[in-house]
């Protein structure tokens, strides 16, 4: 496989023709130098011998393999037979291969044979026309730096060669087919051959960066076009090297791809079977999606990602994990048993343009949950929980018991407890008295599982399109639904902040992980007693935790779970761990102290830009990403649409007229002068409502339409109407709506409709308590 750069076809043709002309001249026969670079033991010498056309085992002129000689010394080999270029012409090109000394990827921090920075000098001093990078594992960031240096700084060609691909092939075949290669049939092998090769090619693609990291001017500040690009850049340049050096991906979370940073907000739905997870999604989307199955029995047997696409359909899991535009590629590690139970349902839906939903199989009881699925359900659930923006944990009123299987699932989710929202579904199936008992029972059950001193927020409602069985709590369901949907609608605007928060959590965990691994390496003996010391360290890992906590002043909450670390370390060779590299650690510390605050400062600007974009797409009315209620906001059936401050919209009669007789009597009792009451006389009557002074000040401000510091009979009636609304629990508007303006005053507001008036500081408004009205905004 090779890496190619974009060149002008005409320029490339001219260069090729020039080379052909020069090589065709027998008096000028240049020798092409090809340099081979890579880590030690990556197979560089074997590649050189292959290109030389000699055998590694029998030919004396072959490049030495499995010897220190080829590791620390640059060797030169002339190919006996010249290469023919191009294939349709008889032009012989003499070639010399330069086997450049390899760099030890597990080198210590001191007494290096070749320092990391000096390896670029070795590449430059070789002065080759073409370089071949040989690697036997996934490309590291350091190797990407070599490619950038060769292509962008030296202006030479760099070809990538993946060696020992048979080992990688067998590993990936077992992950995808879930069976060893030796037990597979020829049909099964042909089914996965092309896909595995394509995946290996994709895993080792390299993106050229016009400003390589070793050429950056430290005096210049790093500028990011947006927060997402900044997150991707600081992860790859500063956090990923630490993760690779200390094998973070083998212990915790897989490496992040570009698609993880560009992914839409994701909502994960979890719960026992038949609690209404799939119905909840259908209720949000207002339509069925491909692959939907709803019923009282366990219907959803797969993980279903519901995403937006102009062409509706279902994408199977094996095809989904090789799609570079989707953030699901790491899921291939769970094998074919899981991928056969993972699909993507694509549908054209406005809500899905900004949010992705993931429906999960219902959590079963007993051995069915743990064994019959064929894959580790809790590990898959943890992977989704780490990458999603919100986790909806659903219960229904008829199944409040938390089984051991559900308890294990909740424990997996607890690492992301800030994302969890509890939903009590099907609340309309019981009456008001029973609902109180159900709510209390749910809180009692959650208290035993969550183990948090705070009371968790539980949203109560009935999320389906059928008629309510008991509509006594209809108002409660509407308010709870509005609160939950408002929380979901905020996700597109706050998704970047969530990604930044997750990256900070990941960096803190990776930092602690590096300290633990390096401490284990430091305490291992160099010669004798390795096995006994390894067992002792494993059994007393908590002492390592306490030492690092004490010496590094790191809170214990940042440490990984002790039992999980012990389980993974049980199969590890501690002698192969890397000692502490303080340069890499300091780079991560600077990322947290310098780069993260810069990105935090950019988030408010991006949120404001998102709101402006939402405003433009909604016809000039400011929105906050509200798409779930967009179909009903302009109808009387919107939540609060015909009550509170919205009561009376579209009616011919002024809504205040309904209680006008009562308001007029109160107005006359205040002894108005010239048809108006002053603030001093109105104050005593208004404070009878027992509302706070700042609220009464807002009401006076809204009611004084002509801004003369007094209220006439219409304005007084309006003030009393607003007081009644506030006492009944409704919110006051910032600007008085058109339908509440008295008919006698509407000519005053014709040219200032929907604009916030400027009142100045004339001092003519009443003083409520110790605060002047003119001070309220």
292 pLDDT more than 60: yes
pLDDT of residue 121: 80
pLDDT of residue 93: 67
Burial code of 670-695, b = ≥16 C-beta within 10 A, e = fewer? bebeeebbebebbbebbeeeebebeb
- Which of these, 150, 115, 118, lies nearest to 132 by C-alpha position? 150
pLDDT of residue 356: 94
Q: Which 3 state secondary structure label does DSSP give 726?
A: helix
Q: Determine the Cα–Cα distance for residues 638 and 763; give it in Å rounded to an integer.
A: 40
pLDDT per residue over 657-697, tens digit each?
888 888 998 899 888 888 899 888 888 889 888 888 888 99
78-103 mean pLDDT: 65
What are the backbone angles phi and psi of residue 96, rounded to the nearest 5°? Answer: -120, 130
502 pLDDT more than 80: yes
pLDDT of residue 270: 93
517 pLDDT more than 90: yes
Tokens of 672: 């108005």
The model's confidence at residue 347, banded by pLDDT at 50, 70 and 90, is: very high
112-131 mean pLDDT: 73
pLDDT of residue 30: 59
pLDDT of residue 265: 92
Greater model confidence, 83 or 548:
548
106-120, 547-561, 569-583, range with the lowest pLDDT: 106-120
623 pLDDT more than 60: no
101 pLDDT more than 70: yes
pLDDT of residue 131: 92
pLDDT of residue 21: 61
The model's confidence at residue 83, banded by pLDDT at 50, 70 and 90, is: low
pLDDT of residue 756: 38
256-260, 479-483, 547-551, 645-649, range with the lowest pLDDT: 645-649
Tokens of 348: 């054209």
Q: What beta strand segments (E) does 89-150 contain?
A: 92-93, 95-99, 130-135
The model's confidence at residue 424, banded by pLDDT at 50, 70 and 90, is: very high
185-202 mean pLDDT: 74
Q: Which 3 state secondary structure label does DSSP give 638?
A: coil
769 pLDDT more than 60: no
Q: Determine the Cα–Cα distance for residues 90 and 88; give it in Å rounded to an integer.
A: 7
The model's confidence at residue 775, banded by pLDDT at 50, 70 and 90, is: very low
112-124 mean pLDDT: 65
pLDDT per residue over 427-485, tens digit each?
999 999 999 999 999 998 888 888 777 778 899 999 888 888 888 888 888 889 989 99
Greater model confidence, 581 or 616:
581
The model's confidence at residue 378, banded by pLDDT at 50, 70 and 90, is: confident
67 pLDDT more than 60: no
159-173, 366-380, 517-531, range with the lowest pLDDT: 366-380
Q: Determine the Cα–Cα distance for residues 437 and 427; give it in Å rounded to an integer.
A: 12
699-711 mean pLDDT: 90
30-39, 419-428, 623-632, range with the lowest pLDDT: 623-632
pLDDT of residue 550: 92
Greater model confidence, 85 or 444:
444
300 pLDDT more than 90: no
Q: What is the DSSP letter of 561?
A: P
Task: Please say whether the beta carbons of 71 and 99 come within 8 A.
Answer: no
pLDDT of residue 103: 79
Greater model confidence, 224 or 576:
576
222 pLDDT more than 60: no
Tokens of 732: 């006051």
3-state secondary structure 360-378: CCCECCCHHHHHHCCCCHH
Tokens of 510: 């990776």
3 pLDDT more than 60: no
616-627 mean pLDDT: 46
40-54, 111-125, 702-716, range with the lowest pLDDT: 111-125
The most confident of 103-112, 348-357, 396-405, by mean pLDDT: 348-357
239 pLDDT more than 90: yes
The model's confidence at residue 546, banded by pLDDT at 50, 70 and 90, is: very high
- Average pLDDT in the chain: 78
Residue 388: left (phi > 0), alpha (psi -120 to 50), or beta? beta
Q: What structural domains and CATH numbers belong to the chain? A: 9-213 (3.40.50.300), 221-257+495-591 (1.10.268.20), 263-490 (3.40.50.300), 644-775 (1.10.238.10)
């Amino acid at each position: 496989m090779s890496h190619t750069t974009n060149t002008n076809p005409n320029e490339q043709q001219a260069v090729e023709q020039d080379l052909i002309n020069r090589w065709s001249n027998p008096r000028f026969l240049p020798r092409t130098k090809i340099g081979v670079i890579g880590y030690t033991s990556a197979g560089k010498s074997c590649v050189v011998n292959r290109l030389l056309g000699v055998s590694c085992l029998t030919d004396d002129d072959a490049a030495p393999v499995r010897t220190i000689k080829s590791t620390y010394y640059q060797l030169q080999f002339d190919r006996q037979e010249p290469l023919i270029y191009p294939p349709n012409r008889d032009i012989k090109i003499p070639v010399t291969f330069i086997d450049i000394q390899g760099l030890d990827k597990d080198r210590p921090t001191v007494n290096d044979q070749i320092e990391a920075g000096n390896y670029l000098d070795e590449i430059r001093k070789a002065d080759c026309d073409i370089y071949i990078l040989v690697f036997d594992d996934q490309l590291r960031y350091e190797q990407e730096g070599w490619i950038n240096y060769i292509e962008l700084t030296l202006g030479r060609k760099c070809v990538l060669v993946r060696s020992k691909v048979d080992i990688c092939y067998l590993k990936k075949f077992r992950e995808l087919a879930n069976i060893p290669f030796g037990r597979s049939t020829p049909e099964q092998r042909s089914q996965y051959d092309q896909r595995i090769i394509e995946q290996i090619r994709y895993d080792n693609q390299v993106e050229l960066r016009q400003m390589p990291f070793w050429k950056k001017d430290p005096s210049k500040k790093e500028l990011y076009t947006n927060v997402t690009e900044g997150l991707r850049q600081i992860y790859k340049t500063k956090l990923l090297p630490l993760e690779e050096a200390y094998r973070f991906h083998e212990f915790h979370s897989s490496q992040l791809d570009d698609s993880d940073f560009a992914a839409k907000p994701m909502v994960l739905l979890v719960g026992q079977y038949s609690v209404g997870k799939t119905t909840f999604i259908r209720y949000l989307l207002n339509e069925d999606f491909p692959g939907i199955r709803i019923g009282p029995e366990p219907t959803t047997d797969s993980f279903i990602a519901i995403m937006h696409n102009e062409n509706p359909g279902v994408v199977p899991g094996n095809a989904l994990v090789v799609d570079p535009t989707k953030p699901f590629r790491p899921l291939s590690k769970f094998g074919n048993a899981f991928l056969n139970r993972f699909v993507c349902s694509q549908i054209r839906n406005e809500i899905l343009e900004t949010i992705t939903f993931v429906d999960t199989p219902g959590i079963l009881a007993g051995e069915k949950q743990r064994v019959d699925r064929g894959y580790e359900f809790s590990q898959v659930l943890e992977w989704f929980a780490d990458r999603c923006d919100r986790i909806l944990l659903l219960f229904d009123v008829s199944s409040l018991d938390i089984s051991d299987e559900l308890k294990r699932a909740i424990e997996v989710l607890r690492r992301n407890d800030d994302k969890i929202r509890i939903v009590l579904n099907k609340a309309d199936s019981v009456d008001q008295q029973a609902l109180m008992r159900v709510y209390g029972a749910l809180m009692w059950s959650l208290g035993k599982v969550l183990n948090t001193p705070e009371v968790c927020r539980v949203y109560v409602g009935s999320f389906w399109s059928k008629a309510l069985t008991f509509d006594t709590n209809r108002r409660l369901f509407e308010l709870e639904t509005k609160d939950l949907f408002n929380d979901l609608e905020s996700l597109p605007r706050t998704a970047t902040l969530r990604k930044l928060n997750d990256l900070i959590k990941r960096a803190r965990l990776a930092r602690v992980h590096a300290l633990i691994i390096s401490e284990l390496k430091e305490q291992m003996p160099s010669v004798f007693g390795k096995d006994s010391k390894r067992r002792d360290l494993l059994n007393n890992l908590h002492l390592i935790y306490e030492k690092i906590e004490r010496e590094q002043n790191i809170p214990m909450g940042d440490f990984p779970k002790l039992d999980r670390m012990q389980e993974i370390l049980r199969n590890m060779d501690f002698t192969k761990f890397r000692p502490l590299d303080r340069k890499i650690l300091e780079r991560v510390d600077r990322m947290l102290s310098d780069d993260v605050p810069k990105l935090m400062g950019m988030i408010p600007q991006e949120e404001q830009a998102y709101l402006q974009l939402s405003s433009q797409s909604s016809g000039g009315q400011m929105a906050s990403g509200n798409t779930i209620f967009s179909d009903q906001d302009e109808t009387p059936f919107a939540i609060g649409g015909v009550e509170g401050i919205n009561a009376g919209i579209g009616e011919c009669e002024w809504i205040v007229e309904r209680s006008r007789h009562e308001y007029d009597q109160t107005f006359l009792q205040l002894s108005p002068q010239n048809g108006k009451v002053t603030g001093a006389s109105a104050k005593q009557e208004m404070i009878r409502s027992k509302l706070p002074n700042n609220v009464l000040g807002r009401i006076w401000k809204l009611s004084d339409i002509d801004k003369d510091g007094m209220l006439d009979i219409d304005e007084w009636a309006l003030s009393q109407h607003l007081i009644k609304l506030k006492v009944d629990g409704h919110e006051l508007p910032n600007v008085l709506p058109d339908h509440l303006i008295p008919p006698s005053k509407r000519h005053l507001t014709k040219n200032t409709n929907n604009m916030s008036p400027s009142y100045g500081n004339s001092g003519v408004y009443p003083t409520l308590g110790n605060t002047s009205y003119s001070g309220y905004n």
